[in-house]
Amino acid sequence: MSIKTTAYSTDFADRGKSYLANLNWPHLITILVVYSITGTLALQLSRLILNGALDMDGSFISGPWVFRGAYILVMPPIYSLMLIAVGTVFGKYHYFRQRVLKMWARILPIGRFVKTS
């Protein structure tokens, strides 16, 4: 009868190093940059639309309630469009298109029409 040994290393530090070494760092950094730029641009553009085009004064925190409701309706589509636009500029159109489709598939029944996976 023999004793079975595992093929895995028991040194957890080695496992962490190999995991970090196998990451695609340029891809991850690009994704983080795109998300940060998109959030800032979507915020500024939604304020511009609400204050300029719809002539609504206020903020999400201090109100009025009409502004808050309009902000909730305006922000998600603007964020989605900006995410695809900025992602396209950085060469990640397909990645961010899938993210936007998954985001909207949670709200709308678009799974019937578009493959989200």
Contacts of 74 (CB under 8 A, 6+ apart): 46, 49, 50
- Let me know if 42 is exposed, middle or buried by CB neighbors in 10 A (0-12, 13-18, 19+): buried
Query: What does the pLDDT profile of the chain (117 residues) look like in tens digits?
Result: 556 555 555 555 556 567 777 788 889 999 999 999 999 999 999 888 888 877 777 777 777 888 888 888 999 999 999 999 999 999 999 999 999 998 888 888 766 666 655
Domain ranges for the chain:
13-92
Angle at 60 between CA 55 and CA 64, to 5 degrees: 60
- How many CA atoms lie less than 13 Å away from 117 in the CB half-sphere? 2
What's the confidence (pLDDT) of residue 84? 96
